[in-house]
């Protein structure tokens, strides 16, 4: 018998926007359906599981086609012989077939659909149940919005982000020690504020060298799309919208260089007028203001934005102990009413009064410490000339630094005595290109590269290739690799040249010396026998730059940099004037002063290692696996192409032309994703998407789950569950999440059945109407009484919360 008859009403399960349709032609395996609401006339496969007959429940408004009369369906007439159209009793007193009426609305009450035995596939119901359970689980008792990031879960970061977002507005100073992930903490806070609707327009202000890092962190780790509002983008806004258009209104979420705000004063009032809800300022210790003066240019540019923005995050590498004056100035931007004056602030410190609850300053010791740095000096018998490489293969091969790298390449390679990935930093692009050529020539192996002229996609590929166990031993990078990329998987860092700025050396080492690291950091540097280079090495060794982080000593290091650059100019004229002993003494004194100051305990509710277990205990076990089951299940139902790929829980997903839906919220047709559901795999392989909360595909599926029709009604059985019975399962959602409720067919609550059905949902299987009624006895088996029984049981149910789905369930021992 044909599945559909001419003039029959039907609906598309996954495209409710089409509205009701009427079959106009039946041609074997094909049917032609007209969907008036969408203005579509489609040729469809008669066997398409997305199509289902449209059964009109009591109460639905219909129009009688012949007369135009609008009335309501009162009841469905008993089934007629096979092949006869369905008939309904109307409020006007007459009977009409579905050929003669047109529904003015689509029935969406799950209970009425169950009463009419208009059910969905069991797989769709299981997937809805998976999603409803997961929706609650992924909230993780308050940590939920943080868990979607492509990050390893460190309890101190979760602790700080949660504390910061508990207040409203969020005005917070992040002053953790270097290497503990202040940027990640800021992104966690930002992501929560954006996803929960607490901020609808945001601006990140960072030094020019870090803006690309911010874009990458936000996109790769948190699925947040920001726009770099550089000069070119601002010029594009003028071309597209005219010179009077505010560039900060062209894009809701932007990153801008601090230097641009300083260099173009008109940008600051423009940002104020745009109504920035969330302002993030990186390296906020650069905002300096002496007593009685208006502050430096950076301070004057950012201070008005701090006053106008509702939420403000300031990131500073300078702890309170290192610069009480600078710390006070930052607090003043966040909480101008916290202290009457700087003197009042200093008095509060001396008296041991807690700081306002708007600061965090986690130290390495607070998280149990990190693996040590291991300096590896390499003595050179001669001074490299020139300091970089010339691009002449023979000449470059003679450079003592190159000779050392080549001599160690076998030991550093896979299976070698000192096996481990080696990151080589150099300053100039010319040196990078020459070093790549000479190493590849000498080792007969590819050398990976990373520099500012590569596209972001190419950089990702280079890092992914380098990371592979059988990939290149060396990756050569310019300073670009020191700006945000983490290479903690490398065994060693080679400083092919030494920057004149000690902070830049710290930034290079910081790419390996991170909280993700489990092994010591080998820091290789070259000691020339004489000259300015030898003095520079002696200075850096003296201040401990290769042994330990110097975070919090930025003010002293800036003096060191100025002295180095001055001495370098004299060195060009043949004079050595680098005051190594004086500079070492200055830095060591600053470090002693910092250690003597005991203010750390004044930060309210600071983090300690004792809190770690409690924070991590709130992360649901099996969250990644549950996400995989829900997402892949939904993709299969929607007809998306999915294929497993090498790697832990890694899949390719395509919203292709054969999909059963035309759109998914936030995911345009044709979208393709290669990603993983495994957090560790996503952290290790940044070229993969992380299918976690916040990912467009994941959020699109949850949005469809909330508003879409799939899987809301089913006839189900659960076998081998240890009990016998039949009843209705009601799935409701409320403030506390999913609330499943089961009543047996006699109207008795069965909470133990609800638990069995939810926990055993992977084993739920579908039943046909014949199988359902064939398994029942007495009045429950009477098809004519079924609608009345459904409504009776629904009336006896608690009714608390939104009815998400309902199913008739048969439990078998």
Report residue 81's pLDDT band, with 50, 70 and 90 as the boundaries: low
The predicted pLDDT at position 522 comes to 97
Residue 456 has pLDDT above 80, yes or no: no
The number of helices, as runs of H, and strands, as runs of E, in the chain is 28, 32
Whole-number Å distance between alpha carbons of 369 and 548: 12
Phi then psi dihedrals of residue 8, to 5 deg: -70, 150
Q: What is the mean pLDDT of residues 85-109?
A: 87
Residue 157 CA, chain-centre distance (Å), reads: 15
Q: What is the mean pLDDT of residues 153-175?
A: 94
Residue 794 has pLDDT above 60, yes or no: yes
Question: Tokens in use for 772?
Answer: 């359902």
Report the C-alpha dihedral over residues 546, 550, 556, 561, rounded to 10 degrees. 40
Q: What is the mean pLDDT of residues 448-466?
A: 87
* Cβ 308 vs Cβ 276: under 8 Å: yes
Whole-number Å distance between alpha carbons of 471 and 135: 40
Whole-number Å distance between alpha carbons of 191 and 55: 44
The predicted pLDDT at position 487 comes to 87
Residue 484 has pLDDT above 80, yes or no: no
* Cβ 688 vs Cβ 702: under 8 Å: no
Phi then psi dihedrals of residue 236, to 5 deg: -65, -40
Between residues 716 and 609, the one the model is more confident about: 716
Give whole-number Cα distances, 248 to 197, 242, 311, 716, in Å: 19, 14, 17, 54
DSSP summary character for residue 333? H
Whole-number Å distance between alpha carbons of 751 and 740: 8
Whole-number Å distance between alpha carbons of 434 and 134: 53
Whole-number Å distance between alpha carbons of 742 and 751: 6
Whole-number Å distance between alpha carbons of 701 and 727: 29
The predicted pLDDT at position 289 comes to 87
* Cβ 360 vs Cβ 382: under 8 Å: no
Report residue 599's pLDDT band, with 50, 70 and 90 as the boundaries: low
Residue 680 has pLDDT above 80, yes or no: yes
Q: Write b or e for each residue in 393-428: b if 16 or more Cβ atoms lie within 10 A of its Cβ, otherwise e.
A: eeebeebbbbebbeebbeebbeeeeeebbbbbbbbb
Q: Which of 21-30, 267-276, 779-788 has the lowest mean pLDDT?
A: 779-788
Give whole-number Cα distances, 264 to 175, 212, 253, 296, 701, in Å: 28, 20, 20, 15, 43
Give tens-digit pLDDT for 282-321: 989 888 888 878 889 999 999 999 999 999 999 987 666 5
What is the CATH class of 9-109? mainly beta
The predicted pLDDT at position 521 comes to 95
The predicted pLDDT at position 454 comes to 86
93-107, 556-570, 623-637, range with greatest mean pLDDT? 623-637
- Closest-CA residue to 525 (of 372, 374, 377): 377
- Closest-CA residue to 386 (of 305, 543, 496): 496
Q: Which of 381-390, 618-627, 667-676 has the lowest mean pLDDT?
A: 381-390
| Percentage with pLDDT > 90 across the chain | 55
Q: Write b or e for each residue in 301-330: b if 16 or more Cβ atoms lie within 10 A of its Cβ, otherwise e.
A: bbbebbebbbbbbbbbbbbbbbbbebbbbb
Report residue 639's pLDDT band, with 50, 70 and 90 as the boundaries: very high
The predicted pLDDT at position 32 comes to 94
The predicted pLDDT at position 421 comes to 96
Q: What is the mean pLDDT of residues 134-155?
A: 89
Indicate whether this model's pTM tops 0.95: no
Give whole-number Cα distances, 20 to 2, 54, 55, 62, in Å: 20, 8, 11, 12
The predicted pLDDT at position 19 comes to 87
| Percentage with pLDDT > 70 across the chain | 96
Give whole-number Cα distances, 23 to 20, 42, 63, 82, 662, in Å: 10, 10, 17, 18, 20
Residue 125 CA, chain-centre distance (Å), reads: 28
Q: What is the 3-state secondary structure (H, E, C) of 42-98?
A: EEEECCCCCEEECCCCCCCEEEECCCCCEEEEEEECCCCCCCCCCEEEECCCCEEEC
Question: Tokens in use for 655?
Answer: 């919203």
Q: What is the mean pLDDT of residues 137-158?
A: 90
Give the residue ranges of DSSP H helices in 255-361: 258-263, 267-274, 297-308, 324-334, 342-350
Whole-number Å distance between alpha carbons of 345 and 427: 43
Q: Which of 551-555, 617-621, 728-732, 762-766 has the lowest mean pLDDT?
A: 551-555
Whole-number Å distance between alpha carbons of 659 and 675: 19
Question: Tokens in use for 489?
Answer: 């998987």
Between residues 250 and 388, the one the model is more confident about: 250
- Closest-CA residue to 282 (of 322, 314, 320): 314
- Closest-CA residue to 11 (of 768, 712, 784): 712
If 0-12 CB within 10 Å is exposed, 13-18 middle and 19+ buried, where does residue 693 land?
Answer: buried
Say how many Å lie between the first and final Cα of the chain, rounded.
36
The predicted pLDDT at position 681 comes to 94
The predicted pLDDT at position 268 comes to 95
**CA-based radius of gyration for the chain:** 33
Tally Cβ neighbours within 10 Å of residue 598: 10
Give tens-digit pLDDT for 349-390: 888 888 888 888 888 888 888 899 999 999 999 988 777 887
Between residues 164 and 353, the one the model is more confident about: 164
Residue 483 has pLDDT above 70, yes or no: no
One-character DSSP codes across 605-664 = T---GGGHHHHHTTSPTTHHHHHHHHHHHHHHHTT-EEEEETTTTEEEEE--TT-S-S-B
Number of residues in the chain:
813
CATH number 2.130.10.10 is the correct assignment for the domain at 372-600? no
Residue 689 has pLDDT above 90, yes or no: yes
344-348, 457-461, 631-635, 738-742, range with greatest mean pLDDT? 631-635
The predicted pLDDT at position 600 comes to 64
Whole-number Å distance between alpha carbons of 334 and 310: 10
Q: Please give the CATH architecture assigned to the domain spanning 151-361.
A: 3-Layer(aba) Sandwich (3.40)
Give tens-digit pLDDT for 215-233: 988 988 898 999 999 999 9
3-class DSSP state of 368: coil
The predicted pLDDT at position 597 comes to 55
The pLDDT mean for the chain works out to 89
Between residues 59 and 280, the one the model is more confident about: 280
227, β-bridge pairs: 254
């Amino acid at each position: 018998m044909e599945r559909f008859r001419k003039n029959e009403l039907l609906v598309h399960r996954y495209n409710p926007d089409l509205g009701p349709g009427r079959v106009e032609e039946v041609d074997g395996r094909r049917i032609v359906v007209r969907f008036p609401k969408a203005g579509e006339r489609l040729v469809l496969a008669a066997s398409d599981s997305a199509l289902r007959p449209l059964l009109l429940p009591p109460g639905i408004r219909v129009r009688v086609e012949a007369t135009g009369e609008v009335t309501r369906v009162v009841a469905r007439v008993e089934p007629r012989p096979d092949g006869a159209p369905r008939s309904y009793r109307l409020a006007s007193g007459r009977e009409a077939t579905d050929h003669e009426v047109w529904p003015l609305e689509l029935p969406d009450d799950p209970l009425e659909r169950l009463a009419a035995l208009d059910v969905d596939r069991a797989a769709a119901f299981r997937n809805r149940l998976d999603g409803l359970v997961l929706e609650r689980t992924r909230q993780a008792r308050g940590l939920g919005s943080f868990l979607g990031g492509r990050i390893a879960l460190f309890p101190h970061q979760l602790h700080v982000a949660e504390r910061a977002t508990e207040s409203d507005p969020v005005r917070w100073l992040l002053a953790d020690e270097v290497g503990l992930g202040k940027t990640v903490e800021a992104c966690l806070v930002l992501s929560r504020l954006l996803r929960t609707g607490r901020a609808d327009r945001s601006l990140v202000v960072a030094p020019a060298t870090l803006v690309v890092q911010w874009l990458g962190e936000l996109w790769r780790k948190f699925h947040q799309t920001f726009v770099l509002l550089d000069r070119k983008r601002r010029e594009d806004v003028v071309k597209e919208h005219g010179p009077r258009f505010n560039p900060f209104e062209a894009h809701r979420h932007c990153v801008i260089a601090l230097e641009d705000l300083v260099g173009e004063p008109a940008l600051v009032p423009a940002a104020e007028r745009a109504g920035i809800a969330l302002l993030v300022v990186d390296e906020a210790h650069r905002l300096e203001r002496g007593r009685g003066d208006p502050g430096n240019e950076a301070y004057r540019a950012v201070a008005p934005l701090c006053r106008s923005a509702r939420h403000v995050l300031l990131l500073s590498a300078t702890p309170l102990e290192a610069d009480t004056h600078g710390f006070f100035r930052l607090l003043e931007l966040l909480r101008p009413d916290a202290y009457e004056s700087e003197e009042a602030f200093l008095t509060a410190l001396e008296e041991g009064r807690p700081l306002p609850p708007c600061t965090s300053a986690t130290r390495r010791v607070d998280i149990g410490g990190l693996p040590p740095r291991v300096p590896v000096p390499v003595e050179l018998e001669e001074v490299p000339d020139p300091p970089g490489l010339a691009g002449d293969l023979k000449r470059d091969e003679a450079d003592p630094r190159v000779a050392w790298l080549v001599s160690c390449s076998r030991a550093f390679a896979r299976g070698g005595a000192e096996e481990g990935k080696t990151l080589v930093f150099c300053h100039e692009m010319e040196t990078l290109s020459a070093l790549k050529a000479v190493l590849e020539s000498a080792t007969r192996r590819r050398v990976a590269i990373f520099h500012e002229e590569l596209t972001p996609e190419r950089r990702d590929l280079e890092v992914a290739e380098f990371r592979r166990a059988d990939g290149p031993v060396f990756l050569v990078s310019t300073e670009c690799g020191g700006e945000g990329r983490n290479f903690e998987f490398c065994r060693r860092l080679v400083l092919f040249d030494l920057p004149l700025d000690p902070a830049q050396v710290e930034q290079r080492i910081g790419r390996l010396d991170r909280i993700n690291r489990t092994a010591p950091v080998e820091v290789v540097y070259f000691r020339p026998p004489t000259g300015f280079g030898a003095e520079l090495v002696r200075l850096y060794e003296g201040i401990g730059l290769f042994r330990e982080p110097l975070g919090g000593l930025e003010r002293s290091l800036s003096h060191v940099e100025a002295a180095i650059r001055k001495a370098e100019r004299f060195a060009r004229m043949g004079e050595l004037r680098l005051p190594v002993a004086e500079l070492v003494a200055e830095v060591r004194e600053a470090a002693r002063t910092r250690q003597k100051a005991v203010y750390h305990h004044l930060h309210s509710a600071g983090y300690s290692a004792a809190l770690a277990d409690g924070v991590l205990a709130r992360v649901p076990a099996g969250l990644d696996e549950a996400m995989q089951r829900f997402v892949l299940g939904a993709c299969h139902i929607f007809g998306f192409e999915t294929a497993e790929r090498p790697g832990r829980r890694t899949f390719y997903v395509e919203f292709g032309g054969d999909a059963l839906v035309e759109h998914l919220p936030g995911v345009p047709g044709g979208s393709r994703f290669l990603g993983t559901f495994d957090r560790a795999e996503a952290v290790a392989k940044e070229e993969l998407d992380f299918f976690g909360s916040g990912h467009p595909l994941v959020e699109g599926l949850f949005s469809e789950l909330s508003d879409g029709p799939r899987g809301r009604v089913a006839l189900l059985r659960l076998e081998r569950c240890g009990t016998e019975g039949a009843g209705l399962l009601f799935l409701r959602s409320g403030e506390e999440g999913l609330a499943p409720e089961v009543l047996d067919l006699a109207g008795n609550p069965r909470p133990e059945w609800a638990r069995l059905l939810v926990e055993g949902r992977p084993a739920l299987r579908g039943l046909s109407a014949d199988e359902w009624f064939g398994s029942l006895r007495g009045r429950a088996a009477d098809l004519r009484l079924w609608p009345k029984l459904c409504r009776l049981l629904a009336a006896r149910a608690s009714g608390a919360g939104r009815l998400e789905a309902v199913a008739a369930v048969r439990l078998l021992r």
